Amino acid sequence: MSKFIIEGGNRLHGELSITGSKNAVLPILAATVLNRGTSTINNCPNLEDVKTMQEILTSLGLKVERKGQSITVCGDTIKTNEIPERLAGKMRSSIVLMGSVLGRVGEIFISYPGGCAIGPRPIDMHLSSLRKMGAEIDDLYKGILHCKVNRFSGTEILLDYPSVGATENIMLAACLAKEETIIRNAAKEPEIVDLQNFLQKTGVEINGAGTGIIRIKGRSEIKADVTYKVIPDRIVAGTYMTCVAGAGGELVLRDVDYEAVSSTAYYLRNCGVDIKLIGEKDLLVKSDKNLKAIEVVRTTPYPGFPTDMQPQFVAVLAKAAGASVVIETVFENRYGYVEQLMRMGADITVRERVAVVKGVKRLTGAHMEACDLRGGAALVVAALSAEGTSVINNIIHIDRGYDRLEEKLSSVGAKIIRV
Ligand code: UD1
């Protein structure tokens, strides 16, 4: 099993380009199932979850080919409607295949999705919405769901919470539905807008993504040869911002969607990090490591502070002068990494969804275990700013969201190796 060895205390200097967004490319790949033509998706990051999605599409009988950062999916035939359990169980995003596969072939066998262990991640809103659109869903055995529909019927759906996954699933189901679907209290994340932009390219009449109301007019068939470029990953950009914040230095991040990272930039600025947009898509991030605590930060749906940045931000606050309060409102159990940070000398108290982070003068290198994707990234952020050597085991979690993180960070002056 691979691990990172990090020698802390080196400032970061140089520039890094931001790769395509994992959370955008996965639903877009799921959407290619709807298209009988050829979809060419550019700017696809080289990540475990993306490989898993490619394998799933191949197992369905679609022709999938990867060349560099480009994935081509030819959707003229689908041979099966069973998603292999070993693949679906690897990641959360497999659940959005329900909407697209059911929409296209009318039946699917799929297990409950996997993904990071960050608390219970129910799929009740996905299931109730698809049922409202006409799907019959039975729990077979051992967590396998059997879903059937003649053809989805467009309808109005009001989500109890702006769930990203449920919004995506409904959008996909609605594309081949009879009549119009309206999603109210829809998620507004940039990845939802990206999915809409891809679907529009295939000819689907869909609008409203980025607001709380999305309207989709169903079609009887989608057949288009399209090329689409995925948006840059706002969480990867945000993670590099926290790396500089903690380790100090000056980094230019290329190809950033500034609006998408602005809540992360806002809170890092409040801590004393200097962040400037230079040109249209480049961000200059400077830190002298003199960080101060912030009163309180709450994770909320977009455009609020993202839950996917909470662990990396806590790793920065661990060395910020004063006490900060962090409230996780999206997931129930997202502080698993805190115990590991405490091995480095961090002073953090967690009570249910609230963490009180008392900044310490120094963190010292330690042996740690990554227990989920962003929690693992937080350990890297802390180790870069610590004195001495840290070992981070179980980095398979980190690889799910960051493409060759050690190469990127080494290129800007960090001392980090994979063994
Ligand atoms: C979430 C994040 C998303 C992030 C992704 C990957 C939010 C709002 N969502 O999306 O930004 O990119 O993780 O880490 O920040 N829920 C239910 N029933 C459901 C679906 C969701 O109760 O059927 C609850 C979840 O338990 C959670 C909340 O709704 O508390 C948000 O979940 P959702 O947005 O669906 O999660 P993801 O799609 O995984």
Residue 306 has pLDDT above 70, yes or no: yes
Residue 118 has pLDDT above 60, yes or no: no
| Whole-number CA gyration radius for the chain | 21
Domain 3-19+232-418 has CATH 3.65.10.10: yes
Phi-psi region at 279: left, alpha or beta (left = phi > 0; alpha = psi -120 to 50): left
CB atoms within 10 A of CB 53: 29
Residue 388 has pLDDT above 80, yes or no: yes
**pLDDT at res. 343:** 97
Please check whether residue 235 is in contact with residue 260, taking contact to mean a CB–CB distance below 8 angstroms.
no
| CA 412 – ligand 1 centroid, Å | 33
The torsion angles phi and psi of 334, rounded to 5 degrees, stand at -115, 25
Going by alpha carbons, the residue nearest to atom 8 of ligand 1 is: 301
Question: Measuring from each residue's beta carbon to the nearest atom of ligand 1, which residues come in under 6 Å?
Answer: 23, 92, 121-126, 161, 163-166, 189, 301, 306-308, 330-331
Going by alpha carbons, the residue nearest to atom 15 of ligand 1 is: 301
CB atoms within 10 A of CB 132: 17
Residues designated catalytic: 116
Q: Do domains 3-19+232-418 and 22-229 have the same CATH topology?
A: yes
Q: What is the pLDDT of residues 60-77, one digit of tens each?
A: 999 999 999 999 999 999
Q: Alpha-carbon distance 215 to 322, whole Å?
A: 47
Averaged pLDDT, 391-402? 95
Minimum-distance ligand 1 atom for the alpha carbon of 127: 23
- Structure tokens that stand for 363 in this block: 């963190």
Residue 298 pLDDT class (50, 70, 90 cuts): very high
Average of per-residue pLDDT values in the chain: 95
**pLDDT at res. 119:** 56
Going by alpha carbons, the residue nearest to atom 20 of ligand 1 is: 123
Q: Alpha-carbon distance 86 to 70, whole Å?
A: 25
Residue 120 pLDDT class (50, 70, 90 cuts): low
Q: What is the pLDDT of residues 204-230, one digit of tens each?
A: 999 999 999 999 999 999 999 999 999
Residue 199 has pLDDT above 80, yes or no: yes
Phi-psi region at 145: left, alpha or beta (left = phi > 0; alpha = psi -120 to 50): beta
Residue 239 has pLDDT above 80, yes or no: yes
| CA 165 – ligand 1 centroid, Å | 6
Q: Which of 95, 330, 374, 400 to mutate to test the pocket of ligand 1 (most atoms within 8 A of CB)?
A: 330
| CA 345 – ligand 1 centroid, Å | 31
Q: Alpha-carbon distance 390 to 5, whole Å?
A: 6
Domain spanning 22-229, CATH architecture:
Alpha-beta prism (3.65)
Q: Alpha-carbon distance 259 to 247, whole Å?
A: 24
138-142, 236-240, 398-402 — most confident range: 236-240
Q: What is the pLDDT of residues 265-296, one digit of tens each?
A: 999 999 999 999 998 899 999 999 999 999 99
| CA 364 – ligand 1 centroid, Å | 34
**pLDDT at res. 359:** 98
Residues in a beta bridge with 139: 145
Q: SS3 for 129-161, per residue?
A: HHHHCCCEEEECCCCEEEEECCCCECCEEECCC
Nearest to 108 by CA among 133, 140, 132: 140
Query: In the chain, what are the domain boundaries?
Result: 3-19+232-418, 22-229
